[in-house]
Structure formats: C-alpha cells, structure tokens
C-alpha cells in the first residue's frame, strides 16, 4: 500500500482563488533536489508563502491561521506546467488529501491520484459556491464522498457529483496503486513485448 | 470491406495497448524511456522498497541535464544536493545496466536534444520521460509525453503505464510564414489563441503546409511546446524530412532493419476521412514574431502589438492583473523598446543547431549590448561541436558572447544560471511562470531571432529590422 486509502473526507478548506496555478508555484524547481520523498510540504508554494528573507508573507492564505483543512480549493487550470510529481508530494506532505478546482492540468491530475490525493473537478458555478461558503465562514465544512462521487457544502447542503474512472476509484478506496496491478500482469507484458 | 480511416495518433496508440481496463485506463506499452537526475531517484528508491527490478533496462536511456553547471563541467559539481542527484543517477543506472550519458560524456546534453540526435527517437514509437517537454519527440511521428515519478517507477518495473486515451485534435496551419517568423513563433501564436488549458485532455496532430515545410529542428520546437497549451503531446506525421534526419544517426536502424522500419514508418499518417474530436485552422500569414508579456505561455502576442486590457482577455481579471503586476507592465504598454537585462538562448525548446544559426544570423557583425548578460547554452555536446564546426563560435565570440556548456540551464534555473529578482530576460525557453528562471525573475519568451535582436540592442526589438 503506497498511501492511506480514501473514502469520506469531511473538512474545512483552504481557498486559493487564483487561475493557472502552475507547478513552479506549487514547488519551485530549486527544491527538487532531494533523492527521497520527504519534507516537500515545507516548500509548498514557497515563493508565495515566504519572502526573500524566508519570512512568512502575512497576506498568503497558508500563513493565515483562519484557514485550515485537508481540502485545497484552487482556480481554473490548477497544476499546469511541469510533470514534477514533487508538486503532488508537496501538497500531500503539507496535509491536503483533496484538491478542488473547476479544471485540472492532465499530468498533475494523474500525479495527484497516483500519490493518494483526490482531484475533484467541479463546475465553475459550484467552485464559486465553495469560495463563497469559505468567505462567509472560514470554518465552513465540506464533505467529499469518493464512493458516491459527490462533494457537498455541509452548511447549505448544496452538492455536486464528480467524475473518476472506476479503476482509479477502486485504487483510492483501497489504497492500491498501479504498480501492484502492473506487477501482477508481468507475463502478459513480456509476451506483448516479444511479439512486437 | 474497407477499413475505417484512422488518425496517425490512433495507429500508434492502439498498437501499444497491452490491455484495456473496463472503466479505467489502458495498460500502455512504452518503447523508449528517458530518465534524468531530478525525477528518477525516488522511482529507483521505490523499486528497492518493493524489492522489484527493471524489466527491460535496454529500453531506458539516462542523461544528466537539469541541474548540471554550464561552466567548468570538468570540475566537481559544487552544489552538494545537485552532486548527490548526479551521483544517484550514476549509481542507479550502473546497478540496473541502463545506458547513462552523464556529465562529461561526449553524448551528454538535454534529454530531448540527445534522444533525437542519436537516433533513439523513431517514428511510431511510444516515448515517455519524467519531464513534460517529452512532447518534443512527437516531431518524429511518435506518441511522446511527460510522466510523473510514480509512472517512471512503473515503466522501469513493467515497461508500461496506465493511461486513459486522450481525445484527438488536429491543428492545421496553411500558407507561407512571413520574414522572421520561426517555428517558435508558430507555437507561441497557437498557444496565445488556445490558452494554456485550451488543449487539455487532447493529443494534437500538427498538419498543413507550414509543418510540412519545416525542418526537424523546427518540428521539435513546435511539438515541445504542445504541453504549454495543456495538450498531453503533439505529433507530426513522418515524411522524407524525418527519414533523412534519422538516416545514419548512431543508434538508428541500419541495413535490412532500416528498410523494414522505413516501410512501416511510411504507413504512419492520418487516413483521408479520419475523424478528430476538434479541428483548428490557422493562416500562416497571420503570424508575426511573438513575445510574451505575462506569467504563462498563453500570454503572448505579436511583437509589434500592445498588451491587451484585462477586460479583453478570457479568464479572471484578478489573475491577469496579478500577472502584469509581477511583470511590472501595464495594460496597453508596447513591448517594443522595453529594457532587457538578460538574454538566454538554449533549452529543449530552442537549443538545437538551427536555433544557433538563426541567432548568429542577426548578431553577425554586431556587438552585444553592454548592459545585457547573455547565456548561450547548446542543447548538447553534439550541438556545441556543430556550433564550432560551422564557424558560429567565432561569430559569437566576435560579438562579445560566451558559449557555455550544455544543459537545461536558465530555463528552470536549478543550477547557478539564475535571473536575479526583478530583472527582465528574453528567453528562448518554454515557461515564463513567476520565478521560473530564478526567484523574482521576469521572463519574456521569444524566438532565437527576437533573442538576438534584444541582445544587440538591449531592448525588445522587432527582429525583422535586421533581416
């Protein structure tokens, strides 16, 4: 098991209402020099979070104790840019288990699922409702139910369904990963390769 | 019975599906796997943790490029973290019997430059690497795209990844390109029209006069930038230009094997009547030399134009204003005449011989502007040698430029080649994200011609003035 399984997550959320949040913002390239997967959370959004003297920037949301939770809510086209899985590691390591946006970049979405983060794509209207709910009450709770593929705003009961394919859903619910699956079909792969 | 017409993409994709998972991704076979020092160590660690090995080590090729220095490569790498990553790559490749072109190896260079120039990248292949600009290899009619480190571990251990098949888009650009309009401008133009997310979920085929008449170097530049509009990758059907480029390269097929493969490569094109999910057409004559003014590659425009108003662009006004504020620009500003502090020519986007020829065509007989710091970084040692063999080195030196050693360099500033905070760089690389070229750096993406014009005048300049 490569990560903790995911079923129902009930949590407040951290709002980042910016579009095109790219992976260089999520984790700048100069922090990609580790050879082990640890400590990346410290550098999540490094240059938005800290000034050039490594002092926290008061106006950045991660430095505002009002906003807490295991859900990160971003604007459209979240995770664009590089394929660095370090971006997903940083988000996971910081403590987020779910990222909500109205649109995800492809590679980021795949990386997120592969490390155990659930990317939840909602309509632009529902994203707006989420940001509004947080604005009205920073402690507002959200429920993400993977089995039912549904995200709800607890206080208002508003909810929306989200897509995920059955295979990946099964993996996340059980904490399985693709390597387990591929190892189990190695003979089939070797035979495929020899016929090429 | 007549066969259903299919696209180039379908032909290559479908022939690599080992297993289709119901309501899930395809188990997708990978012909070529490139690795580098930054996104591979955790994958190798994963193999050890699980106690599994590398299934087909001969299908993986390693090079060191992302954090290597571009001067004094014969000396030990000073940064201990970078040095450790390079050492781990050396150890891991040696342990599993993977070919490794490390620092100092005459074949070393940027992964997306050395693959094609050594004949490793071939038409009809599936190619992945833990780097989003793997899309470069699509120039050969291959399906090539970037993957995450978990997937690097999958390829090492099983030669497969799990991928849902993307939708298909074709982008036709017909007509003739104007003076000073390069492949980079074509790509930046397309991205400016589609935005950085306009092709997300799609795999793109580029077709039409412009790509048919383009060199392999140019096609690589275009395919390289596919990811910047969100596409998984982009590809161009192989033709005589492709075959001529590959023929004779060190690891390319030879003799009877060449004949057999060539016959297959010639079948790799989209059949008449094949259907795409999205068809987009552009006219070559609408494209002028491009430059970006914001903090994503979609924020580009013709160099003679003025920065659009927030209300005239799609997307949120707040995000747009944040971007211009970071750049220190205002709506309606002209880009021509803006002061430039740094010029960078290189990267997997524009670090091939043709790019240096273009750069040299403008700087020849001129001098670098005194206040400009220029980094001229070849994509590989082979490109470096071509620069010297063709006399470009003398042109550079006479104009006051210094040729550095190959690597990714200032494109992502993992080594010491960092643009200082607040400074402006005209860069031939691929991303103008905040801090991409160093914390606080401000990047203007452009072609080698625009970079050369800026380097000699010290301000943003229309390169057509020099042609």
Distance of CA B182 to the CA centre of its chain: 15
Only one residue has tokens 């690097």, namely: B152
Chain A partners within 8 Å of B82 (Cβ): 33
Only one residue has tokens 């020899």, namely: A194
Sites in chain A below the pLDDT cut of 70: 1-2
Strand partners, B425: B342, B443
pLDDT for residue A4: 77
A19 with B315: Cβ contact below 8 A: yes
User: What whole-number distance in Å separates Cα of residue B350 and Cα of residue B185?
Assistant: 12
Only one residue has tokens 């909602």, namely: A122
A29 touches chain B (CB under 8 A): yes
Chain A partners within 8 Å of B230 (Cβ): 77, 80, 105-106
B196 with A30: Cβ contact below 8 A: no
User: What whole-number distance in Å separates Cα of residue A9 and Cα of residue A97?
Assistant: 8
Q: What is the pLDDT of residues B272-311, one digit of tens each?
A: 999 999 999 999 999 999 999 999 999 999 999 999 999 9
A24 with B150: Cβ contact below 8 A: no
E strands in B266-306: 278-283, 290-292, 300-302
User: What whole-number distance in Å separates Cα of residue B190 and Cα of residue B183?
Assistant: 11
Residues near B210 by beta carbon (within 8 Å), at least 6 away in sequence: B173, B174, B175, B176, B177, B186, B284
SS3 assignment, position B100: strand
pLDDT for residue A1: 42
**Residue B7 contacts residue A171 (beta carbons within 8 Å):** no
Q: What is the pLDDT of residues B343-373, one digit of tens each?
A: 999 999 999 999 999 999 999 999 999 999 9
CA end-to-end span of chain A? 33
User: What whole-number distance in Å separates Cα of residue B315 and Cα of residue A180?
Assistant: 41
Is the pLDDT at B213 greater than 70? The verdict is: yes
Nearest one of B267, B277, B212, B276 to B11, comparing CA atoms: B267
Q: What integer best gives the mean pLDDT of chain B?
A: 97
Distance from CA of A117 to the nearest CA of B (A): 13
Chain A partners within 8 Å of B316 (Cβ): 19, 75-76
B42 with A179: Cβ contact below 8 A: no
User: What whole-number distance in Å separates Cα of residue B230 and Cα of residue B203?
Assistant: 9
Phi, psi of A14 (to 5 degrees): -105, 120
Nearest one of B130, B125, B124, B85 to B112, comparing CA atoms: B130
Closest-CA residue in chain A for B412? A29
A47 with B153: Cβ contact below 8 A: no
Chain A partners within 8 Å of B24 (Cβ): 165-168
Rg (CA), chain B: 21
B150 with A190: Cβ contact below 8 A: no
Chain A partners within 8 Å of B55 (Cβ): 186, 189-190
User: What whole-number distance in Å separates Cα of residue B291 and Cα of residue B288?
Assistant: 10
Nearest one of B347, B359, B342 to B466, comparing CA atoms: B359
pLDDT for residue A2: 59
SS3 assignment, position A167: helix
Closest-CA residue in chain A for B30? A193
- Confidence band of B2 (pLDDT split at 50, 70, 90): low
Residue B422: burial class (beta carbons within 10 Å; 0-12, 13-18, 19+): exposed
Nearest one of B72, B79, B71, B76 to B38, comparing CA atoms: B79
Strand partners, A118: A98
Closest-CA residue in chain A for B164? A165
List B residues 174-233 in contact with A (Cβ-Cβ < 8 A): 196-197, 200-201, 227, 230, 232
A32 with B84: Cβ contact below 8 A: no
Q: Give the residue-averaged pLDDT of B22-48.
A: 97
**Residue A12 contacts residue A71 (beta carbons within 8 Å):** yes
Q: Which of B79, B85, B158 sits opposite A183 (nearest CB)?
A: B158
pLDDT for residue A3: 72
Q: Give the residue-averaged pLDDT of B221-235.
A: 98
Pairing of strands B442-445, B424-427: parallel
- Confidence band of B3 (pLDDT split at 50, 70, 90): confident
**Residue B287 contacts residue B185 (beta carbons within 8 Å):** yes
Q: What is the pLDDT of residues B17-32, one digit of tens each?
A: 999 999 999 999 999 9
Q: Give the residue-averaged pLDDT of B210-232.
A: 98
B150 with A114: Cβ contact below 8 A: yes
Distance from CA of B457 to the nearest CA of A (A): 31
User: What whole-number distance in Å separates Cα of residue B417 and Cα of residue B410?
Assistant: 5
- Helix, strand, coil % in chain B, rounded to nearest 5: 40, 20, 45
- Helix, strand, coil % in chain A, rounded to nearest 5: 40, 20, 40
What value of ipTM does the predicted structure carry?
A: 0.96
Chain A partners within 8 Å of B18 (Cβ): 185, 188-189, 192
A18 touches chain B (CB under 8 A): yes
Distance of CA B410 to the CA centre of its chain: 14
């Amino acid at each position: 098991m490569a990560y903790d399984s995911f079923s129902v997550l009930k949590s407040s959320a951290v709002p980042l209402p910016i579009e095109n949040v790219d992976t260089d913002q999520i984790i700048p390239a100069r922090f990609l020099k580790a050879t082990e997967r640890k400590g990346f959370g410290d550098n999540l959004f490094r240059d938005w979070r800290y000034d050039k003297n490594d002092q926290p920037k008061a106006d950045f949301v991660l430095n505002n104790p009002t906003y807490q939770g295991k859900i990160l809510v971003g604007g459209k086209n979240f995770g664009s840019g590089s394929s660095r899985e370090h971006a997903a590691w940083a988000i996971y390591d910081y403590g987020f288990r779910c990222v909500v946006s109205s649109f995800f970049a492809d590679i980021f979405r795949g990386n997120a699922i592969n490390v155990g983060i659930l990317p939840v794509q909602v309509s632009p209207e529902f994203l707006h409702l989420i940001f509004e709910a947080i604005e009205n009450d920073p402690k507002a709770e959200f429920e993400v139910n993977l089995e039912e593929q549904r995200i709800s705003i607890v206080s208002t009961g508003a909810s929306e369904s989200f897509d995920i394919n059955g295979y990946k859903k099964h993996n996340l619910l059980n904490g399985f990963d693709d390597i387990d699956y591929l190892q189990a079909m190695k003979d089939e792969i070797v035979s495929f390769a020899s016929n090429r | 019975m007549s066969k259903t017409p299919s696209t180039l993409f379908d032909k290559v994709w479908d022939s690599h599906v080992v297993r289709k998972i119901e309501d899930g991704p395809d188990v997708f076979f990978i012909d070529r796997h490139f690795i580098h020092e930054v996104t591979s160590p955790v994958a190798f660690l994963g193999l050890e943790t699980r106690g599994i090995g590398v299934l087909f080590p001969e299908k993986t090729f390693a090079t060191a490029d992302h954090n290597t220095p571009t001067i004094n490569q014969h000396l030990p790498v000073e940064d201990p973290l970078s040095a450790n990553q390079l050492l781990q790559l050396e150890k891991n490749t040696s342990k599993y019997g993977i070919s490794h072109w490390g620092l100092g190896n005459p074949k070393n260079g940027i992964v997306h430059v050395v693959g094609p120039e050594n004949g490793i990248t071939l038409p009809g292949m599936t190619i992945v690497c833990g780097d989003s600009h793997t899309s470069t290899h699509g120039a050969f009619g291959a399906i090539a795209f970037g993957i995450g480190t978990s997937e690097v571990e999958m390829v090492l251990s099983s030669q497969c990844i799990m991928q849902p098949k993307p939708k298909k888009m074709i982008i036709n650009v017909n007509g003739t390109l104007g003076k000073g309009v390069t492949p980079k401008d074509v790509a930046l133009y397309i991205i400016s029209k589609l935005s950085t997310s306009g092709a997300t979920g799609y795999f793109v085929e580029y077709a039409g006069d412009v790509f048919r008449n383009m060199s392999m170097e140019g096609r690589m530049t275009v395919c390289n930038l596919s990811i910047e509009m969100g596409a998984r990758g982009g590809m161009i059907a192989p033709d005589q230009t492709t075959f001529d480029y590959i023929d004779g390269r060190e690891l390319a097929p030879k003799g009877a094997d060449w004949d057999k493969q060539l016959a297959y490569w010639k079948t790799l094109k989209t059949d008449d009547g094949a259907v795409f999910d999205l068809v987009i057409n552009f006219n070559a004559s609408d494209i002028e030399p491009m430059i970006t003014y914001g903090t994503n590659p979609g924020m580009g425009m013709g160099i003679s134009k003025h920065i659009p108003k927030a209300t005239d662009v799609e997307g949120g006004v707040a995000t747009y204003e944040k971007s211009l504020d970071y750049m220190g620009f205002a709506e309606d500003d002209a880009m021509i005449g803006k002061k430039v502090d740094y010029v960078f020519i290189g990267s997997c986007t524009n670090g091939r011989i043709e790019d240096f020829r273009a750069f040299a065509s403008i700087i020849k007989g001129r001098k670098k502007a005194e206040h400009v710091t220029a980094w001229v970084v070849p994509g590989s040692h082979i490109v470096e040698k071509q620069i010297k063999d063709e006399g470009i080195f003398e042109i550079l030196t006479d104009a006051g430029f210094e040729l550095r050693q190959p690597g990714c360099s200032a494109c992502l500033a993992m080594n010491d080649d960092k643009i200082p905070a607040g400074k402006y760089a005209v860069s031939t690389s691929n991303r103008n994200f905040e801090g991409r070229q160093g914390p606080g750096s401000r990047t203007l993406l452009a072609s080698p011609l625009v970079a050369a014009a800026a380097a000699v005048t010290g301000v943003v300049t229309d390169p057509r003035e020099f042609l």
